[in-house]
Amino acid sequence: GENVEQHPSTLSVQEGDSAVIKCTYSDSASNYFPWYKQELGKRPQLIIDIRSNVGEKKDQRIAVTLNKTAKHFSLHITETQPEDSAVYFCAGERFNKFYFGSGTKLNVKP
Amino acid sequence: GAVVSQHPSRVICKSGTSVKIECRSLDFQATTMFWYRQFPKQSLMLMATSNEGSKATYEQGVEKDKFLINHASLTLSTLTVTSAHPEDSSFYICSAPQAYRNTEAFFGQGTRLTVV
């Protein structure tokens, strides 16, 4: 299956600063890369996704970039707010199976 | 978006007993559903693929006799943890993509299993 690596494992930023989380994947045939936000004890919530035919996608304060050649993709959160604090997971998808990264615990300090 | 409902949300059982977890797609059909397990402070690990009308396929290292999966209809998959032990305590979560569409996966709310 797909092997997805994610870093950093923890990230602390000051409110208003930007946060960047990076992932790499192994399967060059993967073409869908979602990012999920998970709050403690709750289900993952999709926050943004990107398909392999585009290099960047933006939704308000959140953006994702994809480099298919290098097989890596990144999540960018600008103007962070305390409510952005959560665990974020990237994933690679093959045949609707999702292989998740190890997660990044983001802490936004007020 | 589509809704996936998982039941129960929490369950406590004694060692040696079996526990059944249900995953339902409420407003769409799902020929395939996926079961994940998440240990505290860890990532979601794919356990198995539940296929409507056929046998489930399991990821490497997952015991098929311990984690029984049945996909009885296009809207229901069940995961039964048999002869549960404390090390099976975890957060189990299902997901279902919409049939015949390459879209995001929709996750159930998860089941917190505690084996005592």
The pLDDT tens digits of the residues spanning B80-115 come to 999 999 999 999 999 987 655 556 778 899 999 999
Is some CB atom of chain B closer than 8 A to the CB atom of A99?
yes
Closest to B110 measured CA to CA, from B48, B42, B21: B21
Q: Which helix (H) or strand (E) holds A65?
A: strand A62-67
Distance from CA of B48 to the nearest CA of A (A): 9
Q: How far is CA B44 from the centre of its chain?
A: 12
Which pLDDT belongs to residue B99? 53
What residues contact residue A94 under an 8 Å CB cut-off, 6+ apart? A1, A2, A27, A29, A30
Joined together, the tokens standing for residue A48 give 């943004």
The pLDDT tens digits of the residues spanning A12-42 come to 999 999 999 999 999 888 888 999 999 988 8
Asked if the model's pLDDT at residue B73 lies above 80, the reply is: yes
Which pLDDT belongs to residue B101? 55
| φ and ψ of B83, to 5 deg | 45, 60
Question: Which of A41, A46, A100 lies at the smallest CB-CB distance from B104?
Answer: A46
Cα(B56)–Cα(B79) distance, integer angstroms? 10
Closest to B42 measured CA to CA, from A63, A38, A12: A38
Q: Where are the alpha helices (DSSP H) in chain B?
A: none
A:31-90 residues touching chain B, CB 8 A cutoff: 32, 34, 41-44, 46, 49, 89
Asked if the model's pLDDT at residue B78 lies above 80, the reply is: yes
What residues contact residue A39 under an 8 Å CB cut-off, 6+ apart? A86, A87
A98 to B43: CB separation less than 8 angstroms, yes or no: no
Asked if the model's pLDDT at residue B1 lies above 80, the reply is: no
- pLDDT tens for chain A, 110 residues long, are 789 999 999 999 999 999 999 999 998 888 889 999 999 888 899 999 998 888 999 999 999 999 999 999 999 999 999 999 999 999 998 877 889 999 999 999 99
B110 to A41: CB separation less than 8 angstroms, yes or no: yes
Which pLDDT belongs to residue B98? 63
Cα(B16)–Cα(B1) distance, integer angstroms? 38
3-state DSSP call for residue B44? strand
Which pLDDT belongs to residue A96? 75
Q: Count the Cβ atoms, other than its own, within 10 Å of residue A59.
A: 10
What residues contact residue B69 under an 8 Å CB cut-off, 6+ apart? B35, B48, B50, B56, B77, B78, B79, B80
Closest to B60 measured CA to CA, from A28, A23, A43, A3: A3
B104 to A100: CB separation less than 8 angstroms, yes or no: no
Least confident among A57-71, B7-21, B46-60, B98-112: B98-112
**Residues of A with Cβ-Cβ distance to B44 under 8 angstroms:** 44, 89, 98, 100
Average pLDDT score over chain B: 91
